[in-house]
Amino acid sequence: MKLKTALLGAAAAFAMAPAAFAERGADGQLNIIYWQAPSILNPYLSSGTKDVESASMVLEPLAGFNEKGEVIPRLVTEVPTVENGGVSADLTSITWKLTPGLLWSDGTPVTSADAVFTWQYCTHPEGGCAQAARYEGVTSVEAPDDLTIKVNFAAPKPNPYQAFVGATSPLLQAKQFAECLGAKAPECTAANFGPIGTGPFMVTEFKTNDTVQMVANPNYRDPAKPAFASVNFKGGGDAQAAARSVLETGEFDYAWNPQLAPEVLAGMEAAGKGKVFAAFGTLVERIEINMTDPDPALPEGMRSTAAHPHPILSDIRVRQALSMAIDRNLLVEVGYGSSGRATCNLVPAPELYASDNTGCLTQDIEGAKKLLEEAGWMPGADGIREKDGKKLKLLYQSSTNAVRQDFQALVKGWWNEIGIEVELKNVDASVFFGGDPGSPDTFQKFYADVEMYANNFDGTDPEPYLAQYTCEKAPKPESQWQGENINRFCDPAYDALVAELGKTGEMAKRGEIARQLNDMLTKDSFVVIPLVDRGRTSAASNTLGGVVMNAWDSELWNTSDWYRVK
Amino acid sequence: MLDAGRRKLVEVRDLKMYFPIYSGLLRRHTGDVKAVDGVSFDIFEGETLGLVGESGCGKSTVGRALLRLYELTGGSVVIDGDDVAKLSPEALRQKRPTMQMVFQDPQASLNPRMTLAGIIGEPLDEHTSLTAPEKLARIYQLMDQVGLNRNFANRYPHEFSGGQRQRIGIARALALNPKFIVCDEPIAALDVSIQAQVVNLLEELQDRLGLTYLFISHDLSMVRHIADRVAVMYLGQIAELSPRDELYAQPLHPYAIALLSAVPEPDPSREGARQRIILQGDVPSPANPPKGCNFSTRCPQVQAICHRLQPDLIEVAPLRFVACHFVQPQQAQPAGSTGGTEATEPTQQGVNA
Amino acid sequence: MLTFTIRRLLLAIPTLLFISLIIFLLLDMAPGSPMSQIPLTVPLEVRLKMIEALGANDPIFFRYINWLHKFFVIEPLHVFDGLFGTTFAGDSLRELSWQSRSPVADVIAQRIPQTLTVIGMSYLLGILIALPIGIYSAYRQYSWFDQLGTFISMIGFSVPTFFTGVLLIVVFSVKLHWFPSIYDTTLKVTDWASFGKQVKQMTMPVAVLGLYNAAQISRYMRSSMLENLTQDYVRTARAKGLSERVVVLKHVLRNSLIPVVTVIALGIPTIFGGAIITEQVFKVNGLGQLLITAIYANDLPMVQTLTFIFAVLIVLFNLVADILYGILDPRIRYD
């Protein structure tokens, strides 16, 4: 009995501490499935999630984000701040110090020249760089010595963690991409398909839209990592098959985004082979209100422009009633299960920027009806409210997607209940988000009264995201219908506050302003009706250890720490 | 002219050929088409037996059943000593060379993807062990016999005219030196100008090779030309079987009388006197033949007995067989005088003492 | 026959040019943009720059001529260079996919083996199963075997492959763990063990598509046999004293195969088209999956090239079917 207990204890000790004894390549093959297959491993030429995340196992930025949204060093000794002198006091430059002795997977040293090159690569006027926004406001990148990288900004940059931070802005090897600048970028197929990186793995074979084969990087900076000797990164199929292969058959260790009905996913989890992980970032499913008149009777070029305010929705009481009639918790239950949370905020995270607004979470049909009556909308003979002989009727559009159509049906039911006639419309996602100025069905053109989609912001700083709602960013014919202020919201006070945010460096103050901006769009004006804070989900096998979901960076951010549970 | 003592090459007894009818959801066997229902006759060696009747009377079925191209429902067919109906498949295959067939449609009955040499030579492959040159020689010999140019050996059936195709069919039938050939309407699909050529060829071959024919046709004039004896079929049964001249001169069975009244006379004076008998009504369905005599529904001389009893085919005069209640051996008179022809003395006919 | 073939090939050139123009115009008029899959977080200026870099904003006429030039001149030169080590193509820009920025032709070449092994094998298997079933079903029409064959082909016809595929996965992968549910395109057959693995992972997709193909072809075979079995020449063959085997296999089968062979030839381009649904269900990333992902991503160069190749194959195999007919059936002459 004693012996048995001792043996069990020993076995438990081994099981508990595999990471401690880890040795590079000891755990065999890691199998990852993304049901959207990676097309290219150069995130500067494609910003698709599948491409950025698969590349993040190979290419690394100077610093990344952890699961809490904090900036963590990857290739540098520490994260530069004003306090440690890494960020200049006037916020116009940031200086990174590379960890000495870092090697690319081909054995050559990583130097500051690689960073300078990467900046040149992405900012080349003919390159069509997909991540150009990461380098916006950067006037130059200097390399005073081999290990020092100084990034200079045109104006004070309160959030300097953009260039070289996060999976969308990794370091490229200057030697490998030297011939691939500008218009030549797409021609470097070999480099784009097999970039040399500093990450835990390196590419051995890449089949576009199919598979990526990787092996452990022999020159990885931590000699004990990664635990896996090779990676089979499979793409293609559908979300259900990917989830099944992890949760039911156990063929794969990790499946990205098993976007399935909550009960289907729960049924698969019951097989006991794996679990679904969720992490919440800033992706919010919302209804956007059109502040301008989309009436088809208006001439083209006048529809949905600031010249014609919306006849019904310009009244805040109507907008508020729309929000009050919605039961967000039911929407979460129907559409997302554990991977969604009801929210009243446009910026639900990080904590510093998230408003404490929870007023919308309780559905209030009676209150909504009362508001509509106050606004002069009285029930008509057929149950539809009327005012001055005009019916309260809305066109509600969204992209074609099973969950969105469920949401549309539910919301339509609630709005009908408060006496609003609702016409539903769904548009194929490639058209809706395609941005073709010639199409009447894009979300920018907004030829509807309300529309629903999801959006988020890159990284942890909401400034550019909140700045989208300034007056001049409204899509209009003069700008080829491009622009991010989808609902044509225009409030000089808001614009002024955005400008102030751009000048504020102190974090607490920034948080306060951001929360205020968020409230101006949501609970103060109901121009945006947030519904669900959508988490990222992934399925991981019970035999895979070390998975930490991260909503702020590539979810494969810590594959160097992953190991096989024995 | 007829030799009663001659050997019977083919003896058919009570031949029955029924085709089952399946119907309903489960395709149950619900009845039969009685295409041939109790037919008996003999064919003497070296003679040509004509088999005539309207379309659908079962004459082609008799021809095919004789060669066991169908599995018989009942009866026996003895050809050259063997009961073809009872032979095992392999024994039947061995027997095939003795009995052959010339088909009605020379286009459809030749495999479109085989050359003339292939078609004629195939039976030789199957039943003989000739070497390639011997086989070719035999093919050429057969082509010569039927009057086909040797240069045509490698052509395909569709490259020939109808008459030539029928010659191919005949050459193929002759390949294995058969004794007995069923000619199933061999001229029906041919131009009139070609018909005589083919019939003459058949007669010539019969003289040369001593063949025995069953000549199935609905062309009564052609049968008169080629046949020694003629059987008249109606609705799956033989109504009358008589030597050719007697039959054409004085048919005994009411149906034979009616049928032959349709034959035009070459002699204009007699043609003028010819009276056509038009039968009333349609041929009954062979799936549901009338009770009693199967001609009873259309017979001009029908009596009560005809609806009750089926007459047997009996020899009413030497070599004259008739299936009618009213044509009996003692009188050997036609069933009625409707035909208007004068009865000849039956005793004068047929018997060559 | 030769002049017929040459005449048909010459006629095919304007036909195909016309087809390519129609495809190009249709794709261009179709809604959607290559930017639709890009996250909304990417700002507008960046999007415009990317579209410009792809050349997606050039005038349509210019893009069409450019595509023709690349498809008919540059890509063949590259293939030639690859085969003989020459450098005729030089530095000329190849037709690049908008998704992966790699040459379209290379990606297609990479996908062909996967598609041919799985889809081709299922076609072959379908034929091998279908012919005997069709022959025997016709020979014993209305027997229990024929009824069973009819029933199974009805299932093969009417039950969609996405249903049978998922059903097989649930039964054999999820419940029984016999076969993998995800096809491993990186598996290289080097020894018996890896060959076994390959057979295992091909089993389900081949079975699903094979059933579908067999259902179709066996029906053709059966009806063609039935038509020929009642022909007079079959009676002639029997009368010749040929054994039943020779009658059926030599006379009836050979004549019945003529239409079936042409149907089979006409079906071959569909192998190259890949079975989009089956490839998706089993994650066999072949040409079908390539086409569908390219369509989703509005990768016009890839879609245009793939659909045009399919058009070429269809025109070509129509000609092959005609020529085969001429060879097999002596009654048909084209000159």
> What is the DSSP annotation of B222-248?
HHHHH-SEEEEEETTEEEEEEEHHHHH
Residue B219, both tokens: 């062309």
Closest chain B residue by Cα to residue C239: B100
pLDDT at C335: 63
Flag whether pLDDT at A508 surpasses 70: yes
Q: Which chain A residues are within 8 Å of C70, Cβ to Cβ?
A: none
B98 part of contact set with chain C, CB < 8 Å: no
Q: Taking the CB of residue A21, how many other CB atoms lie within 10 A of it? A: 11
> How does pLDDT run across C172-217, given as a tens digit for each residue?
988 888 998 888 888 888 889 999 999 999 999 999 889 888 998 9
Closest to B254 (Cα-Cα) out of B297, B291, B214: B297
Alpha-carbon distances of C167 from A257, B311, C121, C225, rounded to whole Å: 23, 69, 21, 33
Q: Which chain C residues are within 8 Å of B173, Cβ to Cβ?
A: 239
pLDDT at A219: 93
DSSP state of B189: T
Q: Which fold has domain B8-234?
A: Rossmann fold (3.40.50)
Residue A21: which residues within 8 A CB-CB, separation 6 or more? none
Flag whether pLDDT at C103 surpasses 70: yes
- The amino acid at A299: P
Q: Which residue has the tokens 């996060």?
A: A166
Q: Helix or strand or coil: residue B299?
A: coil
Best mutation target among C233, C250, C251, C253 (most B Cβ atoms within 10 Å) is C233
pLDDT at B333: 52
Task: Answer whether A186's CB lies under 8 Å from A45's CB.
Answer: yes
The enclosing H or E element of B11 equals strand B8-23
* Mean pLDDT across chain C: 86
Flag whether pLDDT at A261 surpasses 60: yes
Closest chain B residue by Cα to residue C257: B113
What string of H, E and C letters represents the secondary structure of A25-66?
Answer: CCCCEEEEEECCCCCCCCCCCCCCHHHHHHHCCCCCCCEEEC
Distance between B289 CA and the closest CA of chain C, angstroms: 26
CB contact under 8 A, A455 and C41: yes
pLDDT classification of A17: cutoffs 50, 70, 90: very low
Q: Which residue would you say has higher pLDDT here, C84 or B233?
A: B233
CB contact under 8 A, B158 and C240: no
Q: What is the DSSP string of A305-330?
A: STTSB-TTTTSHHHHHHHHHT--HHH
- The amino acid at A38: P
Question: What phi and psi, each to the nearest 5 degrees, are found at residue A386?
Answer: -135, 155
C60 part of contact set with chain A, CB < 8 Å: no
d(CA A451, CA B296): 88
Flag whether pLDDT at A230 surpasses 70: yes
Percent of chain B exceeding pLDDT 70 equals: 92
Task: Answer whether C240's CB lies under 8 Å from B124's CB.
Answer: no
> How does pLDDT run across A144-183, given as a tens digit for each residue?
999 999 999 998 888 889 899 999 999 999 999 999 888 8
A254-256 and A29-34 strand pairing: parallel
Of A39, A434, A453, the CB nearest to C31: A434
Q: Which chain A residues are within 8 Å of C99, Cβ to Cβ?
A: 39-40, 46, 208-209
Q: Which chain A residues are within 8 Å of C204, Cβ to Cβ?
A: none
Flag whether pLDDT at C329 surpasses 50: yes
Closest chain A residue by Cα to residue C49: A128
Q: Which residue would you say has higher pLDDT here, C82 or A559?
A: A559
Task: Answer whether C75's CB lies under 8 Å from C312's CB.
Answer: no
Partners of A279 in beta bridges: A536
> For the residues A524-531, what does the mean pLDDT come to?
93
Closest chain B residue by Cα to residue C256: B113
Question: What is the residue extent of each domain of chain A?
Answer: 280-535
Of C51, C281, C293, the CB nearest to A37: C293
Q: Which residue would you say has higher pLDDT here, A286 or C162?
A: A286
Chains contacting A (3+ CB pairs below 8 angstroms)? C
The enclosing H or E element of A233 equals strand A230-235
Please state which of the four CATH numbers 3.10.105.10, 1.10.1380.10, 1.10.10.10, 3.40.50.300 is assigned to the domain occupying A280-535.
3.10.105.10
Task: Answer whether A149's CB lies under 8 Å from A62's CB.
Answer: yes
Flag whether pLDDT at A449 surpasses 90: yes
d(CA B9, CA B80): 5
Chains B & C: contacts with CB separation below 8 Å: 73
Best mutation target among A46, A162, A192, A430 (most C Cβ atoms within 10 Å) is A430
pLDDT at A158: 84
Residue C61: which residues within 8 A CB-CB, separation 6 or more? none
> How does pLDDT run across A451-462, given as a tens digit for each residue?
999 988 877 889
d(CA B220, CA C84): 79
> For the residues A45-60, what does the mean pLDDT come to?
90
Residues 276 to 305 of B: which have CB under 8 A from any C CB? none
Flag whether pLDDT at B350 surpasses 60: no
Distance between C52 CA and the closest CA of chain A, angstroms: 7
d(CA A453, CA A429): 10
Q: Taking the CB of residue B301, how many other CB atoms lie within 10 A of it? A: 15
Partners of C96 in beta bridges: C103
pLDDT classification of C250: cutoffs 50, 70, 90: confident
A252 part of contact set with chain C, CB < 8 Å: yes
DSSP state of A290: P
Question: What is the residue extent of each domain of chain C?
Answer: 111-328
pLDDT at B340: 40
pLDDT at A148: 94
pLDDT at B234: 92
C316 part of contact set with chain A, CB < 8 Å: no
Residues 78 to 117 of C: which have CB under 8 A from any A CB? 93, 96-97, 99-103, 106-107, 110-111
pLDDT at B113: 87
d(CA C262, CA C254): 13
Flag whether pLDDT at B348 surpasses 90: no
Distance between C216 CA and the closest CA of chain A, angstroms: 27
Of A127, A193, A244, the CB nearest to C181: A244
Q: Which residue would you say has higher pLDDT here, A370 or A430?
A: A370
Closest to C227 (Cα-Cα) out of C135, C163, C148: C135
Percent of chain A exceeding pLDDT 70 equals: 96
> How does pLDDT run across B141-186, given as a tens digit for each residue?
999 988 888 899 899 988 898 889 989 989 988 888 899 999 998 8
Flag whether pLDDT at C107 surpasses 80: yes
pLDDT classification of B341: cutoffs 50, 70, 90: very low
Best mutation target among C235, C240, C245, C261 (most B Cβ atoms within 10 Å) is C240
Q: Taking the CB of residue A9, how many other CB atoms lie within 10 A of it? A: 10
Question: What is the residue extent of each domain of chain B?
Answer: 8-234
Residue A564: which residues within 8 A CB-CB, separation 6 or more? A18, A27, A28, A227, A228, A543, A544, A545
- The amino acid at A6: A
Closest chain C residue by Cα to residue A122: C46
Partners of C103 in beta bridges: C96
Cis amide linkage into residue A350, ω under 30° from 0: yes
Residues 156 to 185 of C: which have CB under 8 A from any A CB? 169, 173-174, 177, 180-182, 184-185
> For the residues A498-511, what does the mean pLDDT come to?
86
Question: What phi and psi, each to the nearest 5 degrees, are found at residue A422?
Answer: -125, 130
Cis amide linkage into residue A226, ω under 30° from 0: yes
d(CA C318, CA C9): 11
Cα angle, residue B87 at apex, residues B84 and B88 outer, rounded to 5°: 150
C111-328 is a CATH 1.10.3720.10 domain: yes
Q: Which chain C residues are within 8 Å of A245, Cβ to Cβ?
A: 181-182
First to last CA, chain B: 11
Q: Which chain C residues are within 8 Å of B101, Cβ to Cβ?
A: 235-236, 239
Distance between C144 CA and the closest CA of chain B, angstroms: 12
- ipTM attached to this prediction: 0.82
